[in-house]
Amino acid sequence: MIFFNKDEQLENLGLGILDATWAEFPTLARNQIALTWVVYDPPVLVNTGGALTPNAFWDHPVRGFTYRGVERIYPASVVKLFYLVAVNEWLEKGMTQTSKELERALRDMIVDSSNDATSLVVDILSGTTSGPELPTSPFETWKYQRNIINRYYQSLGWEEMQTINVCQKTWGDGPYGRERAFVGELLENRNMLTTNAIARLLHSIVGGVAVSSGRSQAMMALLKRTLNDLPTDTEENQVTGFLGGGVTENAQIWSKAGWTSQVRHDVAYIEIPEQRPYLLVVFTEGKAHAKSQAILPFVSKLVADAIASL
């Protein structure tokens, strides 16, 4: 069972938003965009500081719309959200201990999208390290350890997590040595996510039920973005050219973007005064669209306008 209820009103609005997007960006192919949109109708039970038990939260119905939400797509830095939750689970269960360096790495991984920080986080999660190629038997052990993050997400029993792959580090120039061997000759083992899987994970964080209420709130604090007084480095602020670029300055947004030369993605939970809060995941693919700072803000603004109409 997908975690939200499909809804005719949101279906009509969502398809209208997609049609408007294709009209505005005619080179964006039908299979170069995927999105998942979840609306929190009153009484709103998210971002309440974890006031609900997990059972009560998961039993509370929410409405949503998805387009290609089950397609496996390379997630770029959006995968860092999955490593953030996993580290918090490990810490909660005593499988690893916190340290100044781990805290610094978590912050830099989410706030600045640092790949170097992510490398340390993946090492801590899996008990593996990057390095030269390994002989067959040690490499098998290394691969098994590295897949612990996948096993954790499988263990949640969520339908949305069945097809994902979250075991690779994120790179600037790409992997070398054992990491290159691990990702596969044709990159067949690279990270893959769906917009529905990401939406469910963010839904659990916003709901205060990812790992624990306190840890969910700590994760929310890292995901919070400022919409005014942005750093001038637009590529790095994760607002300009992303979903935060399509909402008014009085909105509040918690988000994690991802981009490479091939993809541009964003994942956000958004609160606009006097409106229903909502969660939006938009993935776009293709070289030209990865460079575009217009598509994600365009979709984001249309979704915000649709929310105002509800």
Tens digits of residue pLDDT in 27-69: 999 999 999 999 999 988 888 766 678 998 999 999 999 999 9
Average pLDDT of span 74-79 = 98
For residues 280-289, average pLDDT: 98
Tell me whether the omega of the peptide bond preceding residue 43 falls within 30 degrees of 0, making it cis: yes
Report pLDDT for 46.
Answer: 83
Q: What is the pLDDT of residue 48?
A: 75
Cα Rg, the chain, nearest whole Å: 19
Within the chain, where are the H helices?
A: 8-24, 54-59, 80-93, 100-111, 115-126, 136-146, 148-155, 178-183, 195-206, 213-223, 287-291, 295-309
What count of other Cβ atoms lies within 10 Å of the Cβ of residue 274? 6
pLDDT in the model for residue 235: 63
What is d(CA 169, CA 150) in angstroms, rounded to the nearest whole number?
A: 13
Region 161-172: mean pLDDT is 97
User: 174-216, pLDDT tens digit by residue?
Assistant: 999 999 999 999 999 999 999 999 999 999 999 999 999 999 9
Dihedrals phi, psi of 258, to nearest 5 degrees:
-150, 135
Confidence of residue 1 (pLDDT cuts 50, 70, 90): confident
At 101-151, the pLDDT tens digits run 999 999 999 999 999 999 999 999 999 999 999 999 999 999 999 999 999
pLDDT of residue 228 exceeding 90: no
For Cα atoms 148, 75, 271, give the angle at the middle one, nearest 5 degrees. Answer: 105
Name the percent of the chain lying above pLDDT 90: 92
Q: Does residue 18 surpass a pLDDT of 70?
A: yes
| Residue (of 6, 3, 93, 1) closest to 57 by Cα position | 3
pLDDT digits (tens, 9 = 90+) for 19-33: 999 999 999 999 999
User: Which has the minimum average pLDDT: 20-24, 87-91, 159-163, 229-233?
Assistant: 229-233
User: Residue 94's pLDDT is what?
Assistant: 98
Under a CB-based contact definition with an 8 Å cutoff, are residues 72 and 163 in contact? yes
pLDDT of residue 45: 83
Look at residue 49 in the predicted model and tell me its pLDDT.
66
> What integer pLDDT is reported at residue 12 of this predicted model?
98
Q: Rounded to an integer, what distance in angstroms lies between the CA atom of residue 33 and that of residue 53?
A: 35
- Give the separation between CA 127 and CA 132, rounded to whole angstroms: 16
Is the CA virtual torsion 237, 307, 222, 105 positive or negative?
negative
The pLDDT value given to residue 52: 79
Q: Which of 211, 213, 247, 286 is nearest to 33 (CA)?
A: 286
Whether the per-residue pLDDT at 230 is higher than 80: the answer is no
* Cβ atoms within 10 Å, residue 110: 25
Distance in angstroms (rounded) separating the CA atoms of residues 179 and 132: 8
Q: How far apart are CA 37 and CA 176, in angstroms?
A: 37
Which of the four pLDDT bands, split at 50, 70 and 90, describes residue 233?
Answer: low
The mean pLDDT value of the chain amounts to 95
Q: What local confidence, expressed as pLDDT, does residue 28 receive?
A: 98
Look at 41-45, 67-71, 280-284, 294-298 and tell me which has the smallest mean pLDDT.
41-45
Q: Give residue 44's pLDDT.
A: 87
- Angle, CA of 74, 16 and 278, to the nearest 5°: 65
pLDDT at 111: 95
